[in-house]
Amino acid sequence: MGRNMTISRSMVALLLISIAMVVSPAVNSLPTGVNYDQISAGGCNCHAAAPNAGVAVTLDGLPEEYNMSETYQVTISFTGGPSAEGNANLGGFNLWASGGEITPLDATVQSNGPSEVTHTEAGNDYTSWTIEWIAPSHGRDVDFVVHVNSVNGDGNAGPEDQWNKLTLKVAGSLGPGLEEADPYKVLATLIIISGILLTITVLYGFYRTNPDAFDWEHLAPWLTEWLTSTDHKKIGTLYFVQGLFFLGIGGILAMMIRIQLAVPGNDFISQDQYNSFFTLHGTTMIFLAAMPLINGFANWMVPLQIGAPDLAMPRLNALSFWLQPFAALLIFTGVFTGEGADTGWTGYAPYIVTEGAHTGVTMWVAGQIMLVASSTLTGINFLTTMAVMRAEGMGWMQMPLFTWSILVANLMLFLSIPAFGVGLIQVYLDRTISTAFYDISAGGDPLLWSHLFWYFGHPEVYVVIVPAFGVISEVLATSARRSIFGYRSMVYAMAGIGIVAFIVYGHHMFTSGMSPSLRFVTMLTTMLVAVPTGIKIFNWLKTMHGGSLVYRTHTLWALGFLVTFTLGGISGMFFPSIAMDTHLHETYFVVAHFHYVLVGGTVFGFFSAIYYWYPKMTGRMLDERLGTLHFLTAFVTYNGIFWPMHRLGVVGMARRHHTYFITTDDFTNLPEWAADWNLFISVSAFLFFFSNFIMVANMLISLVRGEKAPADPWGGWSFEWMTSSPPPTPSFDWNNPPVLKDANEHIAHEPGRLGQWFNRLMVPEDHEEVSH
CB of 38 to another protein, least distance (A): 24
Q: In whole angstroms, how far apart are CA 648 and each of 353, 465, 574, 671? A: 32, 25, 15, 9
Asked if residues 613 and 293 have their Cβ atoms less than 8 Å apart, the reply is: no
Asked if residues 141 and 88 have their Cβ atoms less than 8 Å apart, the reply is: no
Name the residue nearer to another protein (CB basis): 226 or 351. Answer: 351
- Among residues 458, 519, 595, 616, which one is catalytic? 458
Whether residue 345 lies in the annotated active site: yes
DSSP three-state, residue 169: strand
Whether residue 322 lies in the annotated active site: no
DSSP three-state, residue 719: helix
CB of 441 to another protein, least distance (A): 8
Longest dimension (CA), the chain: 140
Asked if residues 504 and 526 have their Cβ atoms less than 8 Å apart, the reply is: yes
Q: What whole-number distance in Å separates Cα of residue 103 and Cα of residue 84?
A: 28
- Among residues 96, 163, 462, 638, which one is catalytic? 462
* Exposed/middle/buried for residue 247 (C-beta within 10 Å: 0-12, 13-18, 19+): buried
CB of 664 to another protein, least distance (A): 7
- Among residues 150, 450, 473, 731, which one is catalytic? 473
Which residue, among 247, 257, 277, has the nearest Cα to 344 in the 3D structure? 277
Name the residue nearer to another protein (CB basis): 707 or 742. Answer: 742
Whether residue 111 lies in the annotated active site: no
Asked if residues 384 and 365 have their Cβ atoms less than 8 Å apart, the reply is: no
CB of 447 to another protein, least distance (A): 7
Name the residue nearer to another protein (CB basis): 201 or 359. Answer: 359
- Among residues 232, 536, 593, 620, which one is catalytic? 536
Whether residue 434 lies in the annotated active site: no
SS3 readout for 282-325: HHHHHHHHHHHHHHHHHHHHHHHHCCCCCCCCHHHHHHHHHHHH
Q: What whole-number distance in Å separates Cα of residue 247 and Cα of residue 604?
A: 13
Whether residue 69 lies in the annotated active site: no
Handedness of CA 726, 729, 733, 738 (dihedral sign): positive
Q: What whole-number distance in Å separates Cα of residue 280 and Cα of residue 259?
A: 16
Asked if residues 256 and 320 have their Cβ atoms less than 8 Å apart, the reply is: no
Whether residue 161 lies in the annotated active site: no
Name the residue nearer to another protein (CB basis): 177 or 652. Answer: 652
Cβ atoms within 10 Å, residue 10: 10
DSSP three-state, residue 524: helix
Name the residue nearer to another protein (CB basis): 128 or 659. Answer: 659
Whether residue 734 lies in the annotated active site: no
Q: What whole-number distance in Å separates Cα of residue 325 and Cα of residue 323?
A: 6
CB of 543 to another protein, least distance (A): 7
Name the residue nearer to another protein (CB basis): 214 or 757. Answer: 757
Q: What whole-number distance in Å separates Cα of residue 36 and Cα of residue 43?
A: 9
Handedness of CA 402, 407, 408, 409 (dihedral sign): positive
Name residue 716's amino acid: G
Name residue 140's amino acid: R
CB of 436 to another protein, least distance (A): 12
Whether residue 473 lies in the annotated active site: yes
- Among residues 116, 231, 460, 623, which one is catalytic? 460
Whether residue 281 lies in the annotated active site: yes
Name the residue nearer to another protein (CB basis): 66 or 613. Answer: 613
Which residue, among 699, 707, 706, 658, has the nearest Cα to 678 in the 3D structure? 658
- Among residues 120, 375, 608, 637, which one is catalytic? 375
- Among residues 184, 274, 345, 714, which one is catalytic? 345
Q: What whole-number distance in Å separates Cα of residue 482 and Cα of residue 145?
A: 77
Name the residue nearer to another protein (CB basis): 208 or 656. Answer: 656
CB of 194 to another protein, least distance (A): 28
Whether residue 733 lies in the annotated active site: no
Name the residue nearer to another protein (CB basis): 161 or 339. Answer: 339
Q: What whole-number distance in Å separates Cα of residue 597 and Cα of residue 563?
A: 11
CB of 655 to another protein, least distance (A): 8
Name the residue nearer to another protein (CB basis): 571 or 618. Answer: 571
CB of 481 to another protein, least distance (A): 5
Whether residue 772 lies in the annotated active site: no
CB of 492 to another protein, least distance (A): 9
Q: What whole-number distance in Å separates Cα of residue 639 and Cα of residue 657?
A: 22
Whether residue 672 lies in the annotated active site: no
In sequence order, the 6+-apart residues with CB closer than 8 A to the CB of 570 are none
Asked if residues 232 and 216 have their Cβ atoms less than 8 Å apart, the reply is: no
Whether residue 479 lies in the annotated active site: no
Whether residue 375 lies in the annotated active site: yes
Which residues carry out catalysis? 281, 310, 345, 374-375, 458, 460, 462, 473, 507-508, 533, 536, 655
